[in-house]
Structure 1
Amino acid sequence: MNNRKLILFVVHESKKSGAPLLLLQLLKEFKAQGCFSIDILINKTGELDVAFEAIGTTYFYYPKYLLELNLKSKLLRRVLHQETSIKNHQQKLYKTLTHKRYDVIYFNSLGSQSMFTYLENYPAKKVTHIHELHAVVAGMDQVVVKSMLHNSNLLISSCKTITEFLSNTYTIDTNKLLENSVFLFKDRKKAIDNLGKPDQPSNPIFRIGGCGGVEARKGTDLFVDFAIKTIKEIPDVAFEFIWVGNDQTAMATQLTTDIKTAGLQEQIKFVGSTAHPEVHFNTLNLFFLSSREEAFGLVGLENAYCQNPLVSFDINGDLPLFINQYNSGKVIPEFEFAVFKTFILKLMKDKSYAKSLGENGKAAVVKDFNSAAQATIIQEALNKL
């Protein structure tokens, strides 16, 4: 007899971003362990659809055939009120899900607001996994946020900083709050392991990297500002600053102009989005988390595993805690360039110091931030519901 819980895992968007990727890794662990019967419901489709479909029966809140329609077909459907409307699809979907009789519904993010409303009256235990901080949550419907926090049977916080944010901002039952940790994904670890360390050029360049969408929250403007100051104030060193991530933004356009005005386009570069950011990370001498707000920053773990020293502002986030606890870099006062510059000079002067920071970071990731351990914590909590 199969006594495994039947769980519906809800994905707010099937894109290669933090929360969906983290859920995907958890589901891979759960499937490997055979601990649950897994179904998946995807709100907004994306490039991870196939990966989720390989794990369990997958449903789509919006019918997938809509993606294949051209504009004319979409307009005709709207005008003719065809029976295959989205509303009819979603009503039929709800009936299908009702017949499955799930034990638990697991929402992968506070971003799953519309899905929580859709399934709020479904007779199953509810779990909400929370990855967001104030800047993101403030833009959400607060009525639904409070409903998710109050009506979920289990809340999972992905780091200490989020736990503190929830406790300070909302009235929550701390008895139903589970704090786990983000972790380095197995496929990312494997990709980094396969690279090896690059050969050092005869005239080495000190390379500093950042990552994320080019936007204010990620502090890309601060990254570029610090890059320009560093190059100008330490003119006898060959520097290269590279930013990995979506650069099709208004801020990117403005920053590109600023870089060209400074005449530094060969030393400060946006390399865009890539499926293999580790290729860039593996060449760095330092990873700079320039974010104004960041719950943790999974790229911090990737760079730590690459044995890159880390530097971060003293923001309300868990990467500064990681850096301090594991002695893997430097936490500097917010937006203080002088401290940033001093740290860079120390890294260049004392190679053994830089090496030890990198080794400390990698050892911490291997020991305390692995997917199997974190999946086990969540698995045990779900089985207790």
Structure 2
Amino acid sequence: MKKILFISHGNSLSGAPLVLLYFMQWLKHNHKNYQIDLLVLNEGTLSPDFRNVTDNYYSISSLERKFLFQKQLPFSLKKRVDYFLKKRFFKGLRNNSYDIIYANTIGTLQIASKLKDSSKCELVLHVHELNTVINQIAPNFKDLKNTVDKFIAVSGLVKDNLITKYAIESEKIKMIYEFSKVEKVVINQKKGEDDFLVCGCGYVDWRKGTDLFIQVARHLVFNKRNRKIKFIWIGKISLEERIIIEADIEKMGLTDYVSFVGEQLTPHTILKDCDVFLLPSREDPFPLVCIETAMLGKPIICFDKATGITEILKNGGGYIIPYLEVEKMADKVEHYMNNPEEIYHDGLVNQKNFLNFTPDKVCPEIFDFLSKKIV
């Protein structure tokens, strides 16, 4: 039996953890000769699902909770105890003699490299990040990359970044697009008097361009005077960010037009009713929500040089806007408002172009790459 240790930076309801979960579920169902273990750095909404699919589930968070008595120790002694406990924990993992360590995101590479140290196992890194985020979370990536045997890049944009910025050999990298699935939902027929609905989705931060989303709304509501329009952003938002964003929305006079509804366990119930999906991200390698909205038959508008989605969208299904030109992004939203037949047409194009971005189609590609020997 082969042993594989997956390492997840967190079990949040977001892209990289979902892709990992889908692959682990597929692996468990299709290859019974694999022992599937998981080391998770931060617990989250998906933790119960991950526990159901693993043979052994290890959690850094749980490890730290087991030793609460350490808080009573002097700081210097606490540091020594922490070091001892984690050293013993990682030594135990190394002794499991894994065939493959699968690091799911750059953020897990530091730990994955330590676990691989002095072992014969193969280290695979699934790269869901572009250059700015890599520099933020792994400034020593140029050193750590040498411990990796194989790289999975989630888009051509990600692969090109690994080659041009980090001089990684092309032969070590396999470009495999992200994938997702959409549960069957009933799509309501839009009525003429309904507001035009624009949706965005993702964790609220600088990378996702939520500030640009609001700017597009301002341009359409006030400069273009389109008052029968609503903007909804779906995604987890911290209290600090909510205070800032709600203040901006109020000062801009957009309270009746823009809503941030937070994380939704069933986002498709909102996305199915949108007219256009807006991706104002500054860096977004290949967001799952674009796959899902495409499967729901929605047009997508995004920025050039910011996302791998452009690699599919260049074949139709929406518009690619010069980087951060929010006025031009707003113009394309208005174009769809004035040409509803194009909404239907581009939605059909997306459904066709993203038809095969599903676990049953893509997971075998990942498995084959794991089995392949790199010369």
Common fold: TM-score over 0.5:
yes
Return the offset for 1:183.
0.8
Distance in 1 between residues matched to 2:329 and 2:99, nearest whole Å: 51
Distance in 2 between residues matched to 1:78 and 1:31, nearest whole Å: 45
Distance in 2 between residues matched to 1:313 and 1:227, nearest whole Å: 16
CA offsets 1:177-198 (integer angstroms, 9 cap, x no match): 11111011x3xx11xx1x2112
Unaligned runs of 5+ in 1: none
1:91 alignment partner in structure 2: 87
Return the offset for 1:80.
10
Which of these residues, 42, 48, 51, is aligned with residue 50 of structure 1?
48
Distance in 2 between residues matched to 1:296 and 1:329, nearest whole Å: 15
SS across alignment from 2:352: helix
Which of these residues, 151, 157, 160, is aligned with residue 161 of structure 1?
157
- In structure 2, do the counterparts of structure 1 residues 150 and 268 end up closer, same or farther at CA, with 3 Å as the change threshold? same
Q: Is the 8 A contact 1:182 1:298 kept in 2?
A: yes
Q: Is 1:349 aligned to residue 338 of structure 2?
A: yes
Return the offset for 1:59.
3.9
Q: Output aligned runs, 1:108-257, within 5 Å.
A: 108-121=104-117, 122-143=119-140, 145-184=141-180, 186=181, 189-190=182-183, 193=184, 195-201=185-191, 203-235=193-225, 237-248=227-238, 250-257=240-247
Q: Is 1:105 aligned to residue 101 of structure 2?
A: yes
Q: Is 1:264 aligned to residue 264 of structure 2?
A: no
2:271 alignment partner in structure 1: 281
Give TM-score scaled by structure 2 length: 0.90
CA offsets 1:244-275 (integer angstroms, 9 cap, x no match): 11232545433322321233201111111221
Return the offset for 1:220.
1.1
Q: Is 1:334 aligned to residue 323 of structure 2?
A: yes
Return the offset for 1:90.
2.8
Q: Is the 8 A contact 1:130 1:158 kept in 2?
A: yes
Return the offset for 1:341.
3.8
Q: Is the 8 A contact 2:278 2:300 kept in 1?
A: yes
- In structure 2, do the counterparts of structure 1 residues 112 and 338 end up closer, same or farther at CA, with 3 Å as the change threshold? closer
Distance in 1 between residues matched to 2:334 and 2:93, nearest whole Å: 59
Q: Is 1:16 aligned to residue 6 of structure 2?
A: no
Q: Which moved more, 1:339-348 or 1:60-69?
A: 60-69
Aligned-residue identity in percent: 25
SS across alignment from 1:197: coil
1:377 alignment partner in structure 2: 365
CA offsets 1:360-384 (integer angstroms, 9 cap, x no match): 1112222x31112221111112122
Q: Is the 8 A contact 2:197 2:274 kept in 1?
A: yes
Q: Output aligned runs, 1:49-68, within 5 Å.
A: 49-60=47-58, 62=60, 64=62, 66-67=64-65
- In structure 2, do the counterparts of structure 1 residues 358 and 82 end up closer, same or farther at CA, with 3 Å as the change threshold? same
Amino acid at match of 2:36: I
Amino acid at match of 2:346: L
Return the offset for 1:66.
3.9
SS across alignment from 2:168: coil
Q: Is the 8 A contact 2:216 2:327 kept in 1?
A: no
- In structure 2, do the counterparts of structure 1 residues 39 and 68 end up closer, same or farther at CA, with 3 Å as the change threshold? closer
1:34 alignment partner in structure 2: 31
> CA RMSD of the aligned region, Å?
2.5
Distance in 1 between residues matched to 2:333 and 2:44, nearest whole Å: 39
- In structure 2, do the counterparts of structure 1 residues 202 and 332 end up closer, same or farther at CA, with 3 Å as the change threshold? closer
Distance in 1 between residues matched to 2:327 and 2:71, nearest whole Å: 57
